Structure 1
Amino acid sequence: MEIDSMSLSSVPKEHEKIYQEWFSYADSDSDGRLTGTDAIKFFGLSGLSRQDLKQVWAIADLKRQGYLGFTEFIIAMQLVSLAQSGQAITRDLLSSDVDLENLKPPNMEVSSQLQPSISANWFSTKSTKKVPLSSVTSITDGLKRLYIEKLKPLEVTYRFNDFVSPALGNSDFDAKPMVMLLGAHIGPEPTTDRFVVVMSGPDERSIPGNTVAVQADMPFSGLTSFGTSFLSKFECSQMPHPLLEHITFVDTPGVLSGEKQRTQRQYDFTGVTSWFAAKCDLILLLFDPHKLDVSDEFKRVISSLRGHDDKIRVVLNKSDQIDTQQLMRVYGALMWSLGKVLNTPEVMRVYIGSFNDKPVNEAVGGPLGKELFEKEQDDLLSDLKDIPKKACDRRINEFVKRARAVKIHAYIISHLKKEMPSMIGKAKTQQRLINNLEAEFGKVQKEFHLPPGDFPNVEHFREVLGGYNIDKFERLKPKMIQAVDDMLAYDIPNLLKNFKNPYDC
């Protein structure tokens, strides 16, 4: 029997009511999730040692999400109660012969009848006191804390969220790993032009894009910047499936060719795919052996993936529809076409096969082809299975990349502000700076010894900059920059030192 189902079924109603009151007090954000910070505050009332409480959290956080729901909270309270009675906290403790029905709630220094004045002081979300980083309970929890306290203030000060990327919320840190599927449109007309996110859910249902984008527990709020035209072409499909409990899939519409790419898109298709690419852990480029040409739109989409090269894998599907000699030629042509677009020295990993539930066409591929396709399919499945394990490392990597991008953005904005005159000629100076933005980027690069490849796209930056008054920007704040430098140099390494990847056990 599962630990969570056993624990809940064994909780008397009067105890469940107490736990519900405690959970409501402890959940400072009232979002049904107990973060590490809230847990440290509440669990500390038990009088147990910090080491014991770490073990309680590790066992109770069943799904390794970095927070506790009500079910996991009850499990944690039961573990605390058992620990207070002198039992060693182990993973099999609750599934042993412990009499859970007669297990009383733990003794807390503050009872369930918390006085309003005490609870308001203890759990108030308006408290300005910062919780030290040493009190976090997971890597995800630590990254949230670092973002709020050190990186987000720099983003807000220099309008990074307007120029580059929207501010991050809890759902961005808690989201499951994502895989994006990108390919040329090869289906018959008419076809649907929709981005579909396939997620785990209790039953099969579809949620419209406008609804998905405003749900706090989903990491898609940033898509609102692409407007109603896009959101009407976006939806979330939920269904119960074991794989979806660990991975979310993003299915994109087929990339168009010729005149269709200019007349059928009512939104920034390349911008949307670039947004998803930054969020995703793996990007699969899908090709058909009968259609290898890379359209102008597909070239723009692939070019927008620069900076995410390590996430890209290529899938050559329906390979059993051509013979071995043709397959060799197709493979060479594909690599040549991609090489011109991606411009990377590394060779892309290409999975060759027939990736569907039908048996391999041995009449075309032959026995050798069947053996090759099966091995390739196994390799692709192994790559997908590794995604959750690698997701923690990827999240840290993306966080560090974001921090560096924010620093460079701050340097650029403060440099432009410094170039503005104090009195006369502000309008002319602003226009000159916008026109010569590439040269200004060069000045910033030389002054702060920054790598040129880390700078944002000049044209996009120029377009956004045109809507702002440069004179209203902030001057450089060295203390804020130093806080981010300290975060990169000390806080993140300490976080990795204190907490392991949850999938490494």
Structure 2
Amino acid sequence: MKEIYGKKMLEIERRYRFEDFHAPVMRGCDFDAKPMVLLLGQYSVGKTSFIEYILKRQFPGERVGPEPTTDRFIAVMYDKEDQIIPGNALSVDIEKPFHGLNAFGNGFLTKFEGSLCNAEILERITFVDTPGILSGEKQRLGRSYDFAEVTQWFVQRSDMILLLFDAHKLDISDEFKSAIELLKGNEEKVRVVLNKADQIGTQQLMRVYGALMWSLGKVIKTPEVLRVYIGSFWDQPYHIEENKKLFEMEQKDLIDDLLTLPRNSAVRKINELVKRTRLVRTHAAILSHLKEKMPMLIGKESTQIDLIKNLQREFMEIQRIKKIPPGDFPDVSMMQQKLQPQDFSEFPKESERLTKQIEQALSMDLPQLMKLIQPSHKQQQEVSNNPFAEIPWEITPEVKAGYDQIFFSLAPKGGSIPGHVARDVLMNSGIGVEQLRKIWELSDFEKNGTLDNEEFALALHLTEIAKNGGKVPNTLPASMVPLSKRNNIKSPRS
């Protein structure tokens, strides 16, 4: 990933000032960073104690108490020696992935710090503890930064987001509700922890669980059921032990979930790099298009005002000329604001060499990366040597996890997405309608005009084959048929 970015993307990002409009230049630490787990919750729900429980030790800089104690963002990371690193130093450390936080200024960086400690799980995962969210005006007192914007920054870069609730306090404050709403499009990362559950009996716990799901259903607008881990995540004996076995099983499941992050993180990073590459391509097309529209001498100011005002019109023209999918374009109002102080005459012209370079990254280099995390030929040969072995699905769990991120971001209903929603995503692939029609026929096993997560993954897999110059089969081979579909039908296209 670092090589593709450095050789194929960095030059075009700098030429078209991508950093001024969208995101800072990526560093090696952005690719090398361990998976990140973000903890969100109201004050006194046990976020800090939860990290202690996972680490099996205390960590530098922690603050635990019944009243609001953690008033800052703390990145808990691995090091052989315990130490605390102030936010300003952490944000300029070239080995840490926090340089993007410089955009929030000293007001935030004084409320950010790194806690380095020697704990085994930190060799694979980084945890981010956040300020306990209060209610009413108290939550805003003393804040010299935008909590929502900072939280959004961490949400986008996290591999898992844990929402912690106290079994005794299920109310959701206005700011906590706003923080949860920032998770839109990242629902597949979210896990819920119902903490301090040992202090209530089984019957009350069932009622609390139901109330929690009802409250979350009003804030997180998705029909998919969130995974909830129930327990008391600290090192003290249980107050009520009747659910001890349940708590121990839940705690084990959560640890197992965390330990899968390093493997799934590779898929997420490739997916994020693909999205960035597509945005870079579109950004370059926008700036060179606006440059071309500017007059040589007279009327520059009025022309620029018109271009900004009618930016949506220009986007549509770029879509038509460059064949760029509409989903690859940035938000119009955001771009209008960013373009206001610019001089379009100074924008660079289109570079045919750089355009070919980034197209090669999208069509060849990045798809090749996905193949690196697929099962080896040797593993496939071992399966084929067993005459009774079931043919594995061609879409590996790691690749499927990336497709699932897209699927769940589309707000499926009843476990499926309707045809018109799937159509928009598939059209963004840039392949022809005839091929898309064929792909839909192969993917919609139930013939009900919707796609579940496996059918959607298959459709995306087939579009990738087509985009890379491969041939979409007339009949699906067994290796392409999802395992759950094989028992229901003899052949997907018989």
Shared fold, TM over 0.5: yes
User: Residue 319 of structure 1 aligns with which residue?
Assistant: 197
Find the residue that maps to 2:250 and give its secondary structure. helix
Match of 1:284 in 2: 162
Q: CA-to-partner distance for each residue in 1:125-179, whole Å, 9 max, x for gaps?
A: xxxxxxxxxxxxxxxxxx1110011112222222222222211111111222221
Structure-1 separation of matches of 2:287 and 2:116? 42
Q: 2:324 and 2:223 mapped to 1: Cα distance? A: 22
Q: Separation in 1 of the partners of 2:158 and 2:349?
A: 34
Q: TM-score, normalised by structure 1?
A: 0.63
Counterpart-to-counterpart distance in 1, 2:298 and 2:250: 67
Partner of 2:17: 159
* Residue 394 of structure 1: aligned partner: 268
Report whether the alignment pairs 1:374 with 2:232. Answer: no
Q: 1:304 to 1:445 in 2, by over 3 A?
A: farther
- Structure 1 contact 389–501 (Cα < 8 Å) conserved: no
Output aligned runs, 1:237-248, within 5 Å: 237-248=115-126
Uncovered stretches (5+) of structure 1, i.e. residues with no partner:
1-142
Describe the SS at the equivalent of 1:196: strand
Alpha-carbon distance in structure 2 between the residues aligned to 1:208 and 1:345:
41
Change (3 A) 1:332 1:501: same
Which string of whole-angstrom CA distances, capped at 9 and with x for unpartnered residues, describes residues 255-303 of structure 1? 3432234443211222222222232221112222333343343343333
Assess if the C-alpha contact under 8 Å between 2:308 and 2:339 holds in 1: yes
Q: Would the alpha carbon gap of residues 447 and 307 (structure 1) be closer, same or farther in structure 2, given more than 3 Å must change?
A: farther
Q: CA RMSD in A?
A: 3.1
Instruction: Find out whether 1:483 has 2:483 as its counterpart.
Output: no
Name 2:348's counterpart in structure 1. 474
Structure 2 CA distance for partners of 1:330 and 1:415, relative to 1, 3 Å:
farther
Residue from 165, 170, 173 that aligns with 2:31: 173
- Matched pairs, number: 358
Q: Alignment identity in percent?
A: 53
Give the conservation status (yes or no) of the 8 Å contact 1:392–1:501: no
Deviations 1:43-74 (A, max 9, x none): xxxxxxxxxxxxxxxxxxxxxxxxxxxxxxxx
Contact 2:277/2:358, CA 8 A, preserved across alignment: yes
1:220 alignment partner in structure 2: 98
> What secondary structure does 1:264 align onto?
coil
Asked whether the equivalents of residues 68 and 132 of structure 2 are also in contact (C-alpha less than 8 Å), the reply is no
Contact preservation (8 Å) 2:70, 2:130: no
Distance of 2:168 and 2:18 partners within structure 1: 43
Distance change >3 Å, CA 500–CA 460, structure 1 → 2 = same
CA offsets, 1:352-409, max 9 Å, x none? 22222223332xxx63x33332222111110111112222222222222222232233
- State the partner residue of 1:106: none
5+ residue gaps, structure 2? 45-64, 380-494
Q: Is residue 144 of structure 1 aligned with residue 2 of structure 2?
A: yes
In 1, Cα distance between equivalents of 2:319 and 2:206: 45
- The 5 Å alignment of 1:110-259 reads 143-186=1-44, 189=67, 191-259=69-137
Instruction: Give the letter for the 2:97 counterpart.
Output: P
Cα distance in structure 2, aligned partners of 1:331 and 1:277: 25
- Write out aligned runs for 1:268-279 (5 A): 268-279=146-157
Which one of the candidate residues 178, 183, 191 is aligned to 1:300? 178
Structure showing greater radius of gyration is: 1
Query: Which is further off, 228-237 or 303-312?
Result: 303-312
Classify 1:307/1:430 alpha carbon distance in 2 versus 1 (closer, same or farther; 3 Å).
farther
* Alignment partner, residue 356 of structure 1: 234
Residue aligned with 2:136, SS: coil
After superposition, the Cα gap between the structure-2 partners of 1:410 and 1:313, relative to the gap in structure 1 and judged at 3 Å, is: farther
Distance in 1 separating the partners of 2:237 and 2:226: 27
Change (3 A) 1:207 1:426: same
